[in-house]
């Protein structure tokens, strides 16, 4: 199916993909715009994974204060100062700072959850489902643990501005768009009257 320059432009506007990537996506999806978006997102995940081992030491620290009662600071890293100064990167940093204020994550990612907490949660979930068949027990416990991570880990939480995506997915989309590795390095959250 033939596609026009307008189709390519529309797909670029929808996804932020480059012209050649948008054209490739339309060709691989027979001009179907929805399939092209899915194609680009799948390719984007692979592209983001390739960039994840590149060193990210540039970036910025963003602060956010909500009503004088909650304040957050986040450190977001990228590979170059050039990318750190883009509007997309600054908006991302601001969004993450606001998300931390609203969602109050306890940990950055699943890897930062202490082993004893993970084991405690695992044993609780195992007791809850001990009457289930042995062959599905581990899958159920793993599913409950994934839900736990979604509630307490920043990278696994649903983005407050778009609950259809996680913070991890939002980060990967920005990596694809800007072409550099991007890392949420750390954050801190203060709430008036709380220690």
Token digits of residue 101: 């204020």
Q: What pLDDT, on the 0 to 100 scale, is given for residue 195?
A: 73
Check residue 165 and give its pLDDT.
Answer: 94
Calculate ∠ Cα 81-104-60, nearest 5°. Answer: 10
* Cβ burial 6-34 (10 Å sphere, 16+ → b, else e): ebbebbbeebbbeeebbbbbbeebeeeee
Sequence length of the chain is: 195
**Which two three-digit tokens encode residue 78?**
């990228």
Query: CA-CA distance, 107 to 114, in Å (whole number)?
Result: 9
Nearest-angstrom CA–CA distance, 17 and 130: 48
* Residue 139 vs residue 76, higher pLDDT: 76
Would you say residue 29 has pLDDT above 70?
yes
pLDDT at 44 over 70: no
pLDDT score, position 154: 97
Mean pLDDT rounded to a whole number for the chain: 86
Q: Mean of the pLDDT values across residues 100-105? A: 96
Determine the average pLDDT of the residues in 23-38.
80
| Residues 50-102 pLDDT 10s | 555 556 678 999 999 999 999 999 999 998 889 999 999 999 999 999 999 99
Binned at pLDDT 50, 70 and 90, residue 46 comes out as very low
H/E run at residue 188: strand 183-191
The pTM of this model reads: 0.70
Query: Is the pLDDT score of 115 beyond 70?
Result: yes
Proportion of the chain above pLDDT 90, given as a percent:
51
**Bigger pLDDT: 52 or 21?**
21
């Amino acid at each position: 199916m033939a596609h026009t320059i307008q189709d390519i432009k529309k797909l670029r506007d929808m996804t932020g993909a480059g012209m050649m990537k948008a054209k490739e996506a339309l060709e691989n999806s027979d001009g179907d715009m929805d399939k092209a978006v899915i194609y680009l997102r799948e390719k984007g995940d692979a592209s983001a994974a390739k960039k994840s081992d590149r060193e990210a030491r540039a970036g910025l620290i963003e602060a956010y204060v909500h009503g004088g009662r909650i304040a957050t600071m986040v450190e977001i890293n990228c590979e170059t100062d050039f990318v750190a100064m883009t509007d997309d990167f600054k908006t991302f940093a601001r969004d993450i700072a606001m998300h931390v204020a609203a969602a109050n994550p306890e940990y950055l990612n699943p890897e930062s959850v202490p082993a004893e907490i993970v084991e405690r949660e695992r044993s609780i979930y195992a007791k809850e489902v001990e009457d289930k068949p042995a062959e599905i027990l581990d899958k159920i416990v793993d599913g409950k643990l994934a839900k736990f991570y979604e509630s307490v880990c920043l990278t696994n939480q649903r983005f407050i501005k778009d609950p259809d995506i996680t913070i991890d997915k939002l980060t990967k989309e920005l990596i694809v768009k800007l072409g550099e590795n991007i890392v949420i390095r750390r954050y801190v959250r203060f709430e008036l009257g709380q220690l």
